[in-house]
Amino acid sequence: MSEVRSEVLIKGGRIVTAVDDYTADIWVKHGRIEAIARDLSIDSATVHDASGLIVFPGGIDVHTHMEFDLGAAQTVDTFETGTRSAAFGGTTTIVDFALQKQGDTPKQALDRRLAAAEPQCCVDYSFHIILTHVTPEALAELPDLVNHDGVSSFKMFMAYPGVLMVEDADIFRAMRKVGAHGGMINLHAENGSVIQALIQEALEQGNTSPRYHMLTRPSIMEGEATHRGIRIAELAEVPVYFVHLSAEEALNSVVEARDRGISAYAETCPHYLFLDESEYDRPGFEAAKYVMTPPLRSHACQHALWRGLKTDDLQIVSTDHCPFCYNESPFGLRKSKQMGRDDFEKIPNGAPGVEFRLHLLYDGGVNAGRLSLNRFVQLTATAPAKMFGLFPRKGTIAVGSDADLVLFDPHQRHTLSASAQHSNADYSLYEGREILGKVQKVFLRGELIVEGDRWLGRVGQGQFQRRSASGRV
């Protein structure tokens, strides 16, 4: 089905990519960038004045969990609400997860998620497949998933024994298969068995408050698993990507591997850059809002992560948007932090954030002098596209690329809050944080979907993105 779209002309914006910074006009035709030049005049196009604004490529968030069903808990955003929230924050593509459940093959997991996402997504989307059962049947499907279904990245958990954790030998088996066919393995690196022993010990001693979530997941166990994951990947000859890297010990392992020329990559998330473990000192049950995995870390870790972004030992910032309500209503107990009021282990792990990534990184990164404008684009759009096989269709502003564009006003002030976000979550990790710089207009393949606080997009307009090889950056 080819849709006839009106042409668009974006005039006089400051176009910033991972490498460019210049002022020009962008002509969009059939959802793609047709031409970029000075003083374009196209009679058939709708004109948007971008003078005084920065034009960024649409953000790509490669780590979200929309309607993520873990049995005991389910995230509170649907594909519809979560992707609309993403759009308001300037993100035009997400890469979410398809979880292989007991009895599923990876393809069945993917098909189920495609069916749920297709009628709902407001921005473009793709999936990583979470492998939980590395059976011969599952292994046999992997080459076809990479080469024909456009899914070139597979996540495995070294944590959550009995639920999601995969043994080292199975990680190795999957890695070898995926590596041989142009895919990449994403690892959630924490030593799940040792952490489980710590959790059991804490609960036996009557330590049930949210703070113990942090105390039972020490950074040294993220470092250990990261090191182990790298060595297994090295043997299997597969690129390996660490999701939500939070600990300095883990970063040190990645740095050491990269210095040896190993294809090891990692993302971190805004909450690790802007918040620290002192949030767990909050009174009562409030700290449950900050229960995500890995937990918030020390100030020293935070400094190490900012350094990693500078040195390119961390290549991507994604959100790990995994939203639950703090209060019980109106979505039910399974979608609320209140499940773990008497036992920190039962607090659903995760927090909302998909809408805030660009604003936080622009204000706290670019404005604060920690990141250049080009590096900001690299971290939020270009590197995600290259790492996960979406480039050059996505992730940059160039002739022939999808016209996923963000018009950004660097002078507009606003305040992050739960009431201003479009997620179903009822709280924000960043309540009251003031930001200089705001997304003003968002285009998805040339269609204006966000204008200020107005939603102009359509439910279901997001398209599934078949990806080429991952990790060959």
Residues 6 or more apart in contact with residue 292 via CB below 8 angstroms: 271, 320, 322, 349, 350, 351
Q: How far is the CB of 303 from Zn ion (least distance, A)?
A: 6
**11: which strand partners?**
49
Residues 6 or more apart in contact with residue 41 via CB below 8 angstroms: none
Residue ranges in 164-203 that form contacts with Zn ion under rule CB under 5 A: 188
Based on the shown chain and the rule CB under 5 A, indicate whether residue 248 belongs to the binding site for Zn ion: no
Based on the shown chain and the rule CB under 5 A, indicate whether residue 48 belongs to the binding site for Zn ion: no
Based on the shown chain and the rule CB under 5 A, indicate whether residue 320 belongs to the binding site for Zn ion: yes
Q: Which of 166, 292, 406, 429 binds ligand URP (CB under 6 A)?
A: 292
Closer to ligand URP by Cβ: residue 117 or 406: 117
For 201, phi then psi, to 5°, come to -60, -45
Based on the shown chain and the rule CB under 6 A, indicate whether residue 293 belongs to the binding site for ligand URP: yes
Q: Which of 11, 65, 173, 394 binds ligand URP (CB under 6 A)?
A: 65
Closer to ligand URP by Cβ: residue 91 or 349: 349
Closer to ligand URP by Cβ: residue 350 or 365: 350
292 touches which of Zn ion, ligand URP, none (CB within 5 to 8 A by kind)? ligand URP
Residue ranges in 180-199 that form contacts with ligand URP under rule CB under 6 A: 188
Based on the shown chain and the rule CB under 6 A, indicate whether residue 99 belongs to the binding site for ligand URP: no
Based on the shown chain and the rule CB under 6 A, indicate whether residue 322 belongs to the binding site for ligand URP: yes
User: How many residues can be counted in the chain?
Assistant: 473
- Taking contact as CB under 5 A, which single stretch among the options 21-29, 315-323, 432-440, 459-467 is the one that binds Zn ion? 315-323
Residues 6 or more apart in contact with residue 103 via CB below 8 angstroms: none
CA-to-CA distance for 149 and 165, rounded, in angstroms? 25
Q: How far is the CB of 352 from ligand URP (least distance, A)?
A: 11
338 touches which of ligand URP, Zn ion, none (CB within 5 to 8 A by kind)? none
Based on the shown chain and the rule CB under 5 A, indicate whether residue 77 belongs to the binding site for Zn ion: no
Q: Residue 111 has which token pair?
A: 């098909």
Residue ranges in 265-284 that form contacts with ligand URP under rule CB under 6 A: none
Q: How far is the CB of 295 from ligand URP (least distance, A)?
A: 9
Based on the shown chain and the rule CB under 6 A, indicate whether residue 10 belongs to the binding site for ligand URP: no
Task: Output the residue with the shortest Cβ distance to ligand URP.
Answer: 349
177 touches which of Zn ion, ligand URP, none (CB within 5 to 8 A by kind)? none
191 touches which of Zn ion, ligand URP, none (CB within 5 to 8 A by kind)? none
Q: How far is the CB of 65 from ligand URP (least distance, A)?
A: 6
Residues binding ligand URP: what is the number (CB under 6 A)? 9
Residues 6 or more apart in contact with residue 136 via CB below 8 angstroms: none
Q: How far is the CB of 292 from ligand URP (least distance, A)?
A: 4
Closer to ligand URP by Cβ: residue 180 or 194: 194
Do 286 and 236 meet the contact criterion of CB atoms below 8 Å apart? no
Based on the shown chain and the rule CB under 6 A, indicate whether residue 216 belongs to the binding site for ligand URP: no
Burial of 115: CB neighbours in 10 Å, binned 0-12, 13-18, 19+: exposed
Do 369 and 310 meet the contact criterion of CB atoms below 8 Å apart? no
List contacts with ligand URP (CB under 6 A): 65, 188, 244, 292-293, 320, 322, 349-350
| List of residues contacting Zn ion (CB under 5 A) | 188, 320
